[in-house]
């Protein structure tokens, strides 16, 4: 089932990428990133069965990081919304150099 | 560490005698410098007696030059203005009494020591002692194959110089006690003067060129400090700076000469150089180059063409300084250097001729300028330049003893002349001071008829004038005559005569120099007589009120004058020519210096001592005497002191007189040709052009601008649109993965 | 003295201690500042950091002084060595050691630092905690550069001293401090990055396929045995490229004409201690680098006639150019900055002339310049504190008001001019004497520098302390106080000592200088005319 | 090629397809709320796939942490910011962009496939069923916990610090800046 799992993982990842590319809502883009992380997790798990349990441990770490990221990221979005009254990234360019 | 004797010194005949205390000679004045220097840092000055009678004739030092007066008052920290008032308070330093003990005392002790050494040396064989007494103290600069010791050496030449320096130095120190009495910088003055003597002694005692160079530059430093002693006046500070920088040009030459010596001989010790120099080709380009560079050093220190310009300006210093440094000792260092390096110069006839020519030209050139100066000290300054030219004629033509002889006699009579002029200025200023006048106390047009007021000074200065003019049986007569005579004798049958100088036969050059020397002697007699007549004779031009305040200087000043007067009168006994054998032993100095310069002198004259026939000698002497008397008579007859008017009412000069009064405009020419272009180039081209324009603006900030251009491009790309970033990122990922895929 | 030092195992810990003491003191100051909390409290307690810094530097100096006796001048080998593992996977070791060249630089640094603190005593008024902590860190970096025996460690220290200086100029500097400090930083960075590339290359080559090895000896062995290949299709020998990478970094630091324009700006804007350290110590890093790395590693490149002549000419040009430009500066600090260009030109001339005398002379000038120019900057700082201007035209005639200052200024200037009897002469004389044997014409030109040196400095001091006192605001300047006098006296003493009896210093350098000449020229120093002249 | 029971294969494909379909629906929904719900659906499907891939513990964690915790936070935020309004959700890029994005996606997919085929390393593979045996012997948790608390102990501890930092950071960023607002 390795090949199939990687197939699904790749498709999910690509969908996540397309989502990031086509959407402008910060929260949705954020969720797309979560989807990409999940897609990667899937391949980790699949590889773990084929090559050893370390993959699962890695998934564990990815999830932790994702949780942390969600917490901080959402806090940033809230702060940004409070400041700009929008989460539409087209209207936000505070990263301009 | 100090006084680590080298074993070989122990075998010297002078070992174990008083000469072992050689190191003490420069150390004594140095000690004086330290004590006086510390005193001078004590800021406190006390107000001396303000009573004009008490200060009568005693605060003359204020008016060194016209400008010196104002300066002085301002030196006291809390006194402003009110200078025009009649009785401003006299300012004396709190520790002046201590300085006036320490300053001359160290010199007197040093002189005593030197005399003791002289007798030790005579006792040890004097003229027969062939190796110098060398004392090595410590290794100064060990660097690879280069070994340089801090070492002193004493030989007959050094001994003579030490005696002159400490002897004349002591007298001038004593004179200064009176002259500088009321100067707030009194301890500072003695500190500098002591330091000068210390360096001067290092100069003449050094056992190798670098140690000599220490003294060489050290005396330059003291000269700088003393010329600018009244530094609050820009002209004085300028003069000091000019002296130092011009001297540095000369020092450059001396340095190069040292480098050449080391590169080719591998040593800089006098003894070793003299032993090894014969390895170089006689008269070759190398030895000539070395000597010419060395002579460049001498032209700086001894004020010869083209570097003489600093010496007349140096008269901005206090008069004792002019006497000690700018007449008797420091300026003769160049003569000493050539005598010291006589072996080198005797190997290079072309260089010797160059020295002679430059000396002759300087002698006549300065003498013509001296004809038209009104400042009494300027007359003496140009006279010094001219007399130094004589000395160089002597040492250049291989008559080393004659040059050194003139050095010694000149030290006596020129010191006397300067101190005498100091005494005059002192009196003049005291007079002007009492009446609150601001006239120039140094201008001869303001003097006249001073003889009745200052008898001692008058008589003594006449002695010195006769000496410098070359009137028989005064000191200058013998020494000047010897120089001219040896020029004449060496014009045939000597290495110099056989050499060619810029294509001209050497003998022609020497005859020419002899002629110039005679002409300069005539001019010397004229301008010196002129100075005496304008100063002491004719009607008095100081003014009615001032006349009452003219007084002779105190004994502390006249005392040294008397001693110098005696020396000027009898100094010729040092080295009597054969023709005057009835006066005493002939050629004492010749014999004394024979171990040092004898070999070199013989090399110049092809191994035979030049002997003039009795008739030739008589003719030469007769000619010189005639010229001296002629000069005095011309001056006495032609000059009309009665027609002179004080400086303030004097008309402008015209024509050649004006050119002479303005010293041929040489200073102006140097300014235009050397100084201004250098400064202009530095500012306009180097600094503003290359430094700020090209390097900084174009290259450095240019690359900064370029970088800024690139970064503004980058900044434009950073739009802040995260969507765009995502696109760029994904395309980047595609590209990277694509690269892997295709491979 | 030796026995005592041996009994406490001095050699084994001294270099480490020298690096650690300032760092610890910096930490102490930082902790002190942090404990005080807010800025007001820090400003009130501002006397403490300078006390800590002063005592740390005095201890540092005393500790370093033992090196004077423990150093064995008879050998050129590295002494007081220490070799610890640092980053094993990169082949980086914490290796320290000194030879005659480093020894003098270390002592110069530890000598100048307490004086720099005293010079900042009252002139630094804001953020004193940070200031003194940075000074201390800077010292660790500078000493590290001089004692590192591992190229990687050297580079780390090289950059480590850059950062504190950046802040010292940037925070406590004058009006255009940001421009100056950026210029200083970027200029230096440009050079040192290329050097980093070269160091990495050398380290990898020296490792010989078993991972990099940055040890100095290993690199030198590799370079000496032709371990470098050609780069860019055999067009350029690698050693030439490496030499250029090093030389650029060092030439900028020296600063050698035409890479000198950061120096005047940095000096003018830096606070007094910054100028002192910059001129006194940091400029020596460049020439030290040439002596320690660029020449011994790449003798074929450095001694290539074209390259050697270029450096000799640039050195000579630097001497004259620096002096001429200094002559027309209206700002005293700028004047001294350009005079540094001139002095360092002598050093470059001496290094590339490559005779024992010229190298020893160059080292002497490095020391002398540190002492004399450091003293000049301290004096400028003192008068600046009183009058808040460095324009020469704003002064005149103040010798009457401040005689002590005037005496010291004159004395220090004379030493900078190279008056015999002061330290300046010994260095210049040896450099010129040595250079004259291999490059007589250039040495002759460089000798003219002594004329211009007299011109610019004497003119400057005339405009400051001589002439008529014609400005009312100059009439009541207070003279030097006890602290200022106390900090100048050691400098005066050293100036005289090095001028009159420099032999102990020269002897300690001699073996190292001779070894360098031997290494680079490939032959033992010629038993030249000198020995032939003394039978 | 290994073979699996049809039942197993069927369910594997089923959950895979559900996951992909939910993901497609997730990216195409305009409303953030419904998008989030579809994402939850994807995650549940993935949890099922994990279980089938011999990782029951990860599957459980997936449900608990992702679907249960993280997504709930997302929903909270969406609601908190009141993003359900149509005006706020008209955020999709225009057709051209979408077309290009699709092409980029396809290209990415193609590259991933090409790379995974070219670079699979069969030599490293452990015998089939090793994971299942480990579950039997150590239990689902023990299998992960073993390496996690031995080999990977340090990263694990560091992760806890990371979480702590995230919590502090989130609180600090999300906190009302009273001082700033007052200004």
| pLDDT at res. B500 | 86
Q: Does residue D112 form part of some domain?
A: no
Which chains are adjacent to chain B, needing at least 3 Cβ pairs under 8 Å?
A: A, C, D
In sequence order, the 6+-apart residues with CB closer than 8 A to the CB of C434 are: B143, B146, C350, C353, C355, C356, C357, C358, C359, C360, C361
B231 CA: distance to closest CA in chain C (Å): 5
Q: Does residue D53 form part of some domain?
A: yes
Total Cβ atoms within 10 A of residue B678:
15
* Region B94-103 average pLDDT: 86
Question: Is the pLDDT reported for residue B609 higher than 90?
Answer: no
Q: Do B266 and C530 touch (CB under 8 A)?
A: yes
Q: Does residue D174 form part of some domain?
A: no
Q: Do B737 and D104 touch (CB under 8 A)?
A: no
Provide ipTM, 2 decimals. 0.74
Among B657-661, B683-687, C107-111, D62-66, the range with the most confident prediction by mean pLDDT is C107-111
Q: Do C462 and B237 touch (CB under 8 A)?
A: yes
Question: Is the pLDDT reported for residue B561 higher than 80?
Answer: yes
| pLDDT at res. B382 | 93
- D140-160 pLDDT, tens digit per residue, is 888 888 888 888 899 899 999
Distance CA B741, CA D115 (A): 6
Total Cβ atoms within 10 A of residue C522:
10
- C496-515 pLDDT, tens digit per residue, is 999 999 999 999 998 999 98
Contact between residue B318 and residue B61 where contact means Cβ atoms under 8 Å apart? yes
Which residue is it, tokens 């005493």? B584
Q: What is the CATH number of the domain that holds A61?
A: 1.10.287.3510
pTM: 0.81
Task: Mutate one of B714, B722, B730, B737 to test the A interface: name it (highest A CB count within 10 A).
Answer: B722
D129 CA: distance to closest CA in chain A (Å): 8
- Of residues B707 and B646, more confidence is placed in B707
Q: Does residue A97 form part of some domain?
A: no
- Is residue B52 very low, low, confident or very high in pLDDT (cuts 50, 70, 90)? very low
Which chains are adjacent to chain C, needing at least 3 Cβ pairs under 8 Å?
A: B
| pLDDT at res. B127 | 61
- B615 shares a domain with B683: no
Chains A and D touch, using 3 or more CB pairs below 8 Å: yes
What is the domain count for chain B? Answer: 2
Which residue is it, tokens 């050449």? B260
Q: Which of B723, B731, B738 sits opposite D111 (nearest CB)?
A: B738
Question: Is the pLDDT reported for residue B446 higher than 60?
Answer: yes
Per-position DSSP letters for B488-515, written without gaps between them: HHHTSSSHHHHSEETTEEHHHHHHHHHH
Total Cβ atoms within 10 A of residue B613:
8
Which parts of chain A sit beneath pLDDT 70?
Answer: 95-97
Q: Do D115 and B741 touch (CB under 8 A)?
A: yes
Q: Does residue D144 form part of some domain?
A: no
What is the domain count for chain A? Answer: 1
- B710 shares a domain with B623: no
In sequence order, the 6+-apart residues with CB closer than 8 A to the CB of C358 are: C349, C350, C351, C430, C431, C433, C434, C435, C437, C438
For residue A83, the enclosing domain spans: 2-91
Among B650, B685, B718, the domain boundary falls at B650
Q: Does residue B683 form part of some domain?
A: yes
- Is residue B56 very low, low, confident or very high in pLDDT (cuts 50, 70, 90)? very low
- B126-175 pLDDT, tens digit per residue, is 666 778 889 899 998 888 888 888 999 998 999 999 999 999 999 999 99
Q: Quick one: which H or E segment has residue C67?
A: helix C47-70
Question: Is the pLDDT reported for residue D87 higher than 50?
Answer: yes
| pLDDT at res. B87 | 43
B696 CA: distance to closest CA in chain C (Å): 6
For residue B689, the enclosing domain spans: 671-742
- B697 shares a domain with B614: no
**CA neighbours within 13 Å on the CB side: how many for D121?**
6
In sequence order, the 6+-apart residues with CB closer than 8 A to the CB of B555 are: none
Q: How many CB pairs under 8 A join A and B?
A: 33
Taking the Cβ of residue A28 and every Cβ of chain B, the question of whether any pair is shorter than 8 Å is answered with: no
- B343-353 pLDDT, tens digit per residue, is 999 999 999 99
Q: What are phi and psi of B718, to 5 degrees?
A: -75, 80
- With contacts defined as CB-CB under 8 Å, which chain D residues touch A79? 173-174
- B689 shares a domain with B562: no
- Is residue B449 very low, low, confident or very high in pLDDT (cuts 50, 70, 90)? confident
For residue D73, the enclosing domain spans: 1-92
CA B138 to the chain's CA centroid: 29
- Is residue B513 very low, low, confident or very high in pLDDT (cuts 50, 70, 90)? very high
| pLDDT at res. B65 | 35
Structure tokens at C149: 């025996």
* Region B631-636 average pLDDT: 91
Its sign, for the CA torsion B654, B657, B658, B661, is negative
Distance CA B378, CA B322 (A): 10
Residues C279, C280, C283, C287: what is their CA dihedral angle, to the nearest 10 degrees?
150
| pLDDT at res. D121 | 64
Q: Does residue D147 form part of some domain?
A: no
| pLDDT at res. B203 | 94
Distance CA C155, CA C214 (A): 11
Secondary structure percentages of chain A, helix, strand, coil, to 5: 85, 0, 15
Question: Is the pLDDT reported for residue C525 higher than 70?
Answer: no
Q: Does residue B516 form part of some domain?
A: yes
Distance CA B624, CA C74 (A): 66
Secondary structure percentages of chain C, helix, strand, coil, to 5: 75, 5, 20
B728 CA: distance to closest CA in chain D (Å): 11
Per-position DSSP letters for C438-507, written without gaps between them: H-HHHHHHHHHHHHHHHHHHHHHHHHHHSS----GGGTT-----HHHHHHHHHHHHHHHHHHH--HHHHH
Distance CA B628, CA D145 (A): 123
| pLDDT at res. B72 | 38
Per-position DSSP letters for C139-193, written without gaps between them: HHHHHHHHHB-BHHHHHHHHHHHHHHHHHHHHHHS-TTHHHHHHHHHHHHHHHHH
Structure tokens at C374: 């450091």
| pLDDT at res. B578 | 80
Give the ranges where D119-177 is alpha helix by DSSP (H).
130-138, 140-149, 153-174
Q: Does residue A64 form part of some domain?
A: yes
Distance CA B535, CA B478 (A): 27
- B517 shares a domain with B477: yes
Question: Is the pLDDT reported for residue B55 higher than 70?
Answer: no
- Is residue B64 very low, low, confident or very high in pLDDT (cuts 50, 70, 90)? very low
Q: How far apart are the first and last CA of chain C?
A: 38
Question: Is the pLDDT reported for residue B73 higher than 60?
Answer: no
10 Å CB burial of residue C524 (0-12, 13-18, 19+) is: exposed
Secondary structure percentages of chain B, helix, strand, coil, to 5: 70, 5, 25
- Of residues C366 and B439, more confidence is placed in C366
Task: Mutate one of B714, B716, B720 to test the A interface: name it (highest A CB count within 10 A).
Answer: B720
- Is residue D122 very low, low, confident or very high in pLDDT (cuts 50, 70, 90)? low
* Region B247-259 average pLDDT: 93
Q: What are phi and psi of D176, to 5 degrees?
A: -65, 125
| pLDDT at res. B340 | 92
- C343-354 pLDDT, tens digit per residue, is 999 999 999 999
| pLDDT at res. B48 | 52
Distance CA B421, CA B442 (A): 9
Output the average pLDDT for chain B.
84
Q: Does a cis peptide bond (omega within 30 degrees of 0) precede residue C22?
A: no
| pLDDT at res. B71 | 35
Distance CA B509, CA B358 (A): 11
Percent of chain B scored above 70 by pLDDT?
91
Q: Does residue B492 form part of some domain?
A: yes
Q: What is the CATH number of the domain that holds D17?
A: 1.20.120.1200
**CA neighbours within 13 Å on the CB side: how many for D111?**
21
Nearest alpha carbon to residue C135 among C355, C282, C307, C350 = C282
Structure tokens at C82: 């220490």
- Is residue D39 very low, low, confident or very high in pLDDT (cuts 50, 70, 90)? very high
Question: Is the pLDDT reported for residue C534 higher than 50?
Answer: no
Q: Does residue B64 form part of some domain?
A: no
| pLDDT at res. C340 | 93
Taking the Cβ of residue A17 and every Cβ of chain D, the question of whether any pair is shorter than 8 Å is answered with: yes
Question: Is the pLDDT reported for residue B193 higher than 60?
Answer: yes
Its sign, for the CA torsion C343, C346, C351, C356, is negative
Output the average pLDDT for chain C.
88
Q: Does residue D117 form part of some domain?
A: no
CA C197 to the chain's CA centroid: 24
Distance CA C214, CA C220 (A): 10
Contact between residue B179 and residue B320 where contact means Cβ atoms under 8 Å apart? yes
- With contacts defined as CB-CB under 8 Å, which chain D residues touch A23? 27, 91-93
Q: Does residue B417 form part of some domain?
A: yes
Q: Does residue A96 form part of some domain?
A: no
3-state secondary structure of B177: helix
Contact between residue B683 and residue C456 where contact means Cβ atoms under 8 Å apart? no
* Region B296-302 average pLDDT: 92
Distance CA B565, CA B683 (A): 53
Distance CA B525, CA B621 (A): 16
Q: Does residue A32 form part of some domain?
A: yes
Let me know the angle formed at the C-alpha of D160 by D156 and D166, rounded to the nearest 5 degrees.
135
3-state secondary structure of C209: coil
What is the domain count for chain D? Answer: 1
What is the chain B residue with the closest CA to A93? B720
- With contacts defined as CB-CB under 8 Å, which chain C residues touch B214? 420-421, 425
- Of residues C37 and D119, more confidence is placed in C37
- Is residue D25 very low, low, confident or very high in pLDDT (cuts 50, 70, 90)? very high
């Amino acid at each position: 089932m390795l090949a199939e799992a990687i197939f699904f993982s790749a498709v999910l990842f690509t969908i996540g990428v397309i989502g990031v590319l086509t959407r402008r809502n910060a929260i949705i883009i954020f969720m797309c990133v979560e989807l990409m992380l999940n897609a990667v997790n899937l391949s980790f798990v699949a590889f773990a069965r084929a090559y050893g349990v370390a993959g699962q441990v890695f998934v564990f770490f990815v999830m932790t990081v994702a949780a942390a990221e969600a917490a901080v990221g959402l806090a940033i979005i809230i702060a940004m919304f409070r400041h700009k009254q929008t989460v539409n990234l087209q209207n936000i360019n505070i990263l301009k150099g | 560490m100090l006084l680590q004797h080298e074993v070989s010194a122990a075998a010297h005949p002078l070992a174990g005698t008083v000469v072992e205390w050689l190191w003490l000679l420069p150390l004594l004045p140095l000690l004086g410098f330290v004590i006086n220097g510390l005193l001078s840092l004590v800021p406190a000055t006390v107000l001396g007696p303000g009573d004009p009678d008490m200060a009568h004739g005693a605060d003359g030092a204020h008016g060194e030059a016209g400008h010196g007066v104002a300066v002085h008052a301002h030196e006291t920290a809390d006194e402003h203005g009110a200078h025009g008032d009649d009785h401003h308070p006299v300012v004396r330093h709190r520790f002046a009494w201590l300085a006036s003990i320490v300053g001359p005392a160290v010199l007197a002790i040093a002189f005593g020591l030197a005399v003791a050494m002289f007798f030790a040396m005579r006792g040890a064989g004097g003229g027969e002692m062939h190796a110098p007494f060398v004392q090595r103290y410590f290794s100064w600069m060990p660097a690879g194959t280069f070994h340089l010791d801090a070492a002193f050496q004493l030989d007959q030449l050094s001994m003579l110089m030490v005696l002159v320096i400490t002897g004349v130095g002591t007298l001038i120190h004593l004179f200064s006690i009176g002259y500088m009495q009321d100067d707030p910088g009194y301890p500072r003055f003695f500190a500098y003067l002591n330091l000068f003597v210390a360096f001067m002694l290092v100069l003449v005692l050094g056992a190798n060129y670098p140690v000599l160079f220490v003294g060489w530059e050290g005396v330059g430093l003291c000269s700088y400090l003393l010329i600018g002693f009244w530094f609050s006046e820009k002209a004085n500070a300028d003069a000091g700076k000019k002296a130092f920088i011009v001297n540095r040009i000369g020092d450059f030459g001396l340095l190069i000469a040292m480098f050449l010596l080391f590169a080719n001989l591998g040593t800089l010790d006098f003894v070793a150089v003299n032993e090894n120099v014969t390895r170089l080709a006689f008269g070759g380009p190398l030895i000539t180059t070395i000597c010419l560079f060395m002579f460049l050093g001498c032209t700086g220190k001894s004020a010869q063409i083209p570097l003489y310009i600093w010496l007349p300006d140096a008269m901005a210093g206090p008069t004792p300084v002019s006497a000690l440094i700018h007449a008797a000792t420091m300026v003769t260092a160049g003569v000493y250097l050539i005598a010291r390096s006589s072996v080198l110069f005797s190997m290079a006839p072309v260089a010797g001729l160059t020295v002679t020519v430059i000396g002759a030209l300087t002698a006549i050139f300065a003498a013509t300028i001296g004809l038209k100066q009104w400042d009494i000290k300027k007359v003496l300054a140009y006279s010094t330049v001219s007399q130094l030219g004589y000395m160089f004629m002597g040492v250049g033509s291989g008559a080393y003893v004659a040059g050194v002889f003139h050095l010694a006699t000149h030290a006596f009579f020129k010191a006397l002349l300067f101190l005498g002029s100091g005494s005059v200025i002192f009196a003049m200023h005291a007079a002007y001071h009492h009446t609150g006048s601001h006239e120039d106390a140094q201008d001869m047009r303001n003097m006249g008829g001073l003889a009745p007021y200052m008898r001692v000074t008058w008589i003594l200065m006449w002695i010195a004038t006769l000496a410098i003019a070359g009137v028989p049986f005064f000191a200058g007569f013998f020494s000047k005559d010897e120089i001219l005579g040896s020029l004449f004798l060496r014009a045939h049958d000597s290495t110099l005569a056989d050499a060619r100088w810029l294509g001209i036969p050497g003998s022609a050059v020497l005859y020419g120099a002899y002629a110039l020397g005679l002409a300069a002697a005539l001019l010397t007699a004229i301008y010196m007589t002129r100075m005496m007549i304008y100063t002491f004779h004719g009607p008095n031009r100081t003014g009615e009120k001032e006349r009452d305040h003219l007084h002779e200087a105190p004994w502390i000043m006249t005392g040294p004058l008397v001693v110098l007067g005696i020396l000027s009168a009898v100094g010729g006994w040092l080295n009597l020519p054969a023709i005057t054998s009835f006066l005493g032993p002939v050629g004492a100095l010749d014999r004394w210096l024979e171990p040092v310069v004898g070999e070199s002198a013989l090399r110049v004259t092809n191994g035979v001592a030049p002997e003039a026939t009795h008739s030739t000698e008589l003719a030469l002497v007769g000619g010189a005497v005639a010229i001296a008397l002629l000069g005095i008579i011309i001056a006495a007859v032609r000059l009309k002191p009665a027609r002179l008017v004080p400086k303030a009412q004097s008309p402008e000069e015209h024509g050649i007189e004006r050119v002479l009064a303005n010293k041929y405009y040489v200073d102006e020419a140097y300014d235009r040709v050397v100084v201004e272009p250098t400064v202009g180039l530095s500012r306009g081209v180097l600094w503003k052009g290359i430094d700020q324009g090209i390097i900084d603006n174009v290259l450095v900030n240019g690359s900064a601008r370029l970088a800024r251009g690139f970064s503004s491009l980058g900044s434009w790309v950073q739009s802040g649109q995260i969507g765009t970033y995502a696109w760029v990122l994904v395309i980047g990922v595609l590209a990277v993965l694509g690269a892997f895929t295709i491979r | 003295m030796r026995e005592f030092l041996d009994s406490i195992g001095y050699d084994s810990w001294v270099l480490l201690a020298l690096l650690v003491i300032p760092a610890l003191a910096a930490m102490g100051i930082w902790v002190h500042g942090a404990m005080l909390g807010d800025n007001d409290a820090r400003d009130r307690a501002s006397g403490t950091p300078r006390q800590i810094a002063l005592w740390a530097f005095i201890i540092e100096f005393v500790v370093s002084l033992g090196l004077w006796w423990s150093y064995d001048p008879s050998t050129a080998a590295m002494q007081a060595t220490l070799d610890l593992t640092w980053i094993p996977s990169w082949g980086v070791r914490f290796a320290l050691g000194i030879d005659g060249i480093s020894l003098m630089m270390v002592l110069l640094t530890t000598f100048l630092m307490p004086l720099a603190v005293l010079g900042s005593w009252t002139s630094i008024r804001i953020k004193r905690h940070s200031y003194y902590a940075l000074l201390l860190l800077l010292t660790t970096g500078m000493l590290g550069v001089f004692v590192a025996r591992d190229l990687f460690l050297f580079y780390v220290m090289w950059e480590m001293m850059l950062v504190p200086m950046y802040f010292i100029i940037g925070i406590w500097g004058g009006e255009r401090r940001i421009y100056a400090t950026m210029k200083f930083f970027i200029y230096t960075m440009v050079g040192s990055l290329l050097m980093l590339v070269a160091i990495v290359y050398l380290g990898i080559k020296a490792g010989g396929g078993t991972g990099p090895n940055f040890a100095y000896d290993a690199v030198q062995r590799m370079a000496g045995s032709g371990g470098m290949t050609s780069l860019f299709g055999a067009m350029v020998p690698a050693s030439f490229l490496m030499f250029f990478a090093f030389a650029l970094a060092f030439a900028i630091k020296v600063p050698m004409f035409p890479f000198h324009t950061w120096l005047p700006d940095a000096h003018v804007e830096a606070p007094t201690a910054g100028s002192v350290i910059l001129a006194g110590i940091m400029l020596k890093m460049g020439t030290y680098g040439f002596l320690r790395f660029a020449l011994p590693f790449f003798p074929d490149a450095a001694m290539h006639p074209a390259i050697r002549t270029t450096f000799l000419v640039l050195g000579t040009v630097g001497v004259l150019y620096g002096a001429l430009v200094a002559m027309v500066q209206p700002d005293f600090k700028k004047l001294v900055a350009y005079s540094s260009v001139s002095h360092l030109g002598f050093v470059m001339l001496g290094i590339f002339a490559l005779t024992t005398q010229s190298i020893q002379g160059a080292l002497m000038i490095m020391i002398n310049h540190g002492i004399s120019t450091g003293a000049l900057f301290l004096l400028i700082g003192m008068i600046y504190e009183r009058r808040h201007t460095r324009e020469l035209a704003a002064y005149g005639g103040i010798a009457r008001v401040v005689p002590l200052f005037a005496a010291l200024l004159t004395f220090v200037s004379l030493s900078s001019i190279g008056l015999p009897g002061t330290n300046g002469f010994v260095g210049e004389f040896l450099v010129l004497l040595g250079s004259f044997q291999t490059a007589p014409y250039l040495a002759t030109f460089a000798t003219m520098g002594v004329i211009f040196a007299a011109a610019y400095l004497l003119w400057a001091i005339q405009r400051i302390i001589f002439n008529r006192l014609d400005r009312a605001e100059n009439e009541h300047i207070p003279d030097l106080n006890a602290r200022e006098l106390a900090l100048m006296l050691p400098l005066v003493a050293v100036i005289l000592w090095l001028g009159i009896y420099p032999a102990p210093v020269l002897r300690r350098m001699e073996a190292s200088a001779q070894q360098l000449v031997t290494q680079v020229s490939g032959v033992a120093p010629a038993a030249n005319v000198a020995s032939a002249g003394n039978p | 090629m290994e073979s699996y029971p049809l039942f197993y294969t069927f369910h594997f494909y089923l959950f895979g397809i559900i996951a992909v379909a939910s993901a497609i629906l997730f990216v195409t929904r305009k409303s953030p709320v419904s998008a989030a719900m579809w994402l939850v659906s994807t995650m549940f499907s993935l949890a099922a796939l994990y279980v089938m891939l011999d990782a029951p513990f990860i599957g459980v964690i997936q449900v608990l942490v992702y679907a249960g915790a993280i997504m709930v936070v997302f929903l909270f935020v969406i609601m908190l910011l009141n993003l359900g309004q149509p005006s706020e959700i008209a955020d999709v890029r225009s057709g051209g962009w979408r077309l290009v994005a699709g092409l980029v996606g396809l290209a990415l997919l193609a590259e991933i496939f090409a790379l995974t085929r070219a670079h699979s390393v069969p030599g490293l593979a452990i015998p089939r069923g090793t994971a299942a045996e480990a579950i039997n012997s150590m239990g689902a948790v023990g299998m992960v916990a073993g390496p996690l608390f031995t080999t990977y102990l340090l990263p694990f501890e560091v992760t806890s610090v990371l979480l702590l930092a995230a919590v502090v950071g989130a609180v600090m960023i999300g906190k009302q800046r009273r001082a700033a607002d007052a200004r």
